[in-house]
Amino acid sequence: MQETLKKLQEEALQKIEVASDLKELNDVRVAYLGKKGPITEVLRGMGKLSAEERPKMGALANEVRAAIGGSIEKKQAQLEEAAVAAKLAKEKIDVTLPGYTVKAGNPHPLTKIIEEIEDLFIGMGYEVAEGPEVEQDYYNFEALNLPKGHPARDMQDSFYITEETLMRTHTSPVQVRTMLNHDGKGPVKIICPGKVYRRDNDDATHSHQFMQIEGLVVDKNIAMSDLSGTLEVFAKKMFGEDRMIRLRPSFFPFTEPSVEVDISCKICAGKGCNVCKGTGYIEVLGAGMVHPNVLKMAGFDPEVYSGFAFGMGVERIAMLKYGIDDIRHFYSNDIRFLKQFDRYEGQ
Ligand code: FA5
């Protein structure tokens, strides 16, 4: 019996030694130490032994059990450690590998310019107003002192949808709509950004669809000097403190007097160069004092109220600010062009 126990111990220790994983090790445990295992079997036969031999054999059997159990525990710790090491090796992250970049879009340059202009005028107490792009002839022309058949309608070739409906040719109808909402009471102080449409042939400086920003102030005692002061602040903030503005007499049916507003050329500082075609100035917008007829049609008493308005092409402002030579870049969706206008650049 002694020999059998020793042999079983040897056998078990060998199997433990070669066990390659926890499952195999557990199989050895069950096989040798389990209730149906050979050691238990041997112990069952102890009844046949003499009273003298019995305790000796019992002690030996316990020794064998303890040796096998201890060896299993040791091996189990080794295998568990190896399993953790293997898992760590498998899941190791190489932090030097290049990561995946998340592609974030940039605001379109025209959106950036509009937001910049909005911020500037909101800072001066203006509100942002919007209106429909499919507009009624009345708001786009008639209420702006441009009755049907007026020759000045030719200044803005239009896309008509019906006799009375068209794609708006400028953002000025929003000033009419806003004034009508004020029930003849000032002050009105708004800017209106939005898309406009004209039957112009597309070229480097013209597009059949472009963006405008309109500005309108109506209150008591508004004078031409308020207009020029406001536009000077605008020009300096948008293009630099060294810029000057120049007002040239012009004509718009909805303003009287009317002006074209030029800003001094950045390249030659007003001396004259190729960019400004030798004039020292570049035209940026149209403006003027709101015509009394327009005030009247919008419900304001021109004897009490006066106002100024201006309208600018957003693409032309962006072209001047960023040095872009062709308006079509804004609408061609060329990613190489758009990527240059980083989200935070210039803000
Ligand atoms: C107007 O549209 C007037 N409503 C502006 C105005 C408002 C004057 C309030 C007085 C008071 P004009 O047609 O000049 O004016 O257009 C204004 C600006 O839009 C121009 O200075 C130019 O920058 C831009 N623009 C005009 N046509 C085009 C076009 N086809 N493509 C791109 N920009 C254009």
Backbone dihedral angles phi then psi of residue 85, each to the nearest 5 degrees: -60, -40
Average pLDDT over residues 174-202: 95
Whose alpha carbon is nearest atom 3 of ligand 1? Answer: 311
* Of 99 and 266, the one with more pLDDT: 99
Q: How far is the CA of 50 from the centre of ligand 1 (A)?
A: 121
Say if residue 128's pLDDT is above 60: yes
pLDDT at position 261: 93
Q: What are the structure tokens assigned to 186, written together? A: 């000032």
Count Cβ neighbours within 10 Å for each residue of 229-265 and write b for 16 or more, e otherwise.
Answer: ebbeebbebbbeeebebbbeeeebbbbeebbbbbbbb
Q: How far is the CA of 249 from the centre of ligand 1 (A)?
A: 15
**DSSP conformation class of 137:** H
pLDDT at position 347: 41
The string of pLDDT tens digits covering residues 25-44 is 888 888 888 888 888 887 77
pLDDT at position 220: 97
The ligand 1 atom nearest the CA atom of 215 = 9
pLDDT at position 343: 60
d(CA 315, CA 327): 7
Say if residue 346's pLDDT is above 70: no
* Of 272 and 117, the one with more pLDDT: 117
Say if residue 181's pLDDT is above 90: yes
CB of 310 closer than 6 angstroms to any ligand 1 atom? yes
The ligand 1 atom nearest the CA atom of 285 = 21
Average pLDDT over residues 130-151: 95
Burial class (CB in 10 A: 0-12, 13-18, 19+), 344: exposed
Q: How far is the CA of 253 from the centre of ligand 1 (A)?
A: 13
Whose alpha carbon is nearest atom 27 of ligand 1? Answer: 206
- Superfamily of domain 109-344 in CATH is Bira Bifunctional Protein; Domain 2 (3.30.930.10)
Q: What are the structure tokens assigned to 94, written together? A: 């190489």
Q: How far is the CA of 323 from the centre of ligand 1 (A)?
A: 20
Percent of the chain with pLDDT over 90: 50
Which own/partner pairs from 49-55 qualify as long-range (CB within 8 Å, at least 24 positions apart)? Answer: 49/1
Average pLDDT over residues 241-252: 92
CB of 200 closer than 6 angstroms to any ligand 1 atom? yes
The string of pLDDT tens digits covering residues 207-245 is 999 999 999 999 999 999 999 999 999 999 999 998 889
The string of pLDDT tens digits covering residues 298-345 is 999 999 999 999 999 999 899 888 888 889 999 999 988 988 887 654
Q: How far is the CA of 57 from the centre of ligand 1 (A)?
A: 112
Say if residue 254's pLDDT is above 70: yes
pLDDT at position 279: 85
CB of 175 closer than 6 angstroms to any ligand 1 atom? no
Average pLDDT in the chain:
90
d(CA 168, CA 176): 13
CB of 207 closer than 6 angstroms to any ligand 1 atom? yes
CB of 140 closer than 6 angstroms to any ligand 1 atom? no
pLDDT at position 242: 87
Q: How far is the CA of 283 from the centre of ligand 1 (A)?
A: 11
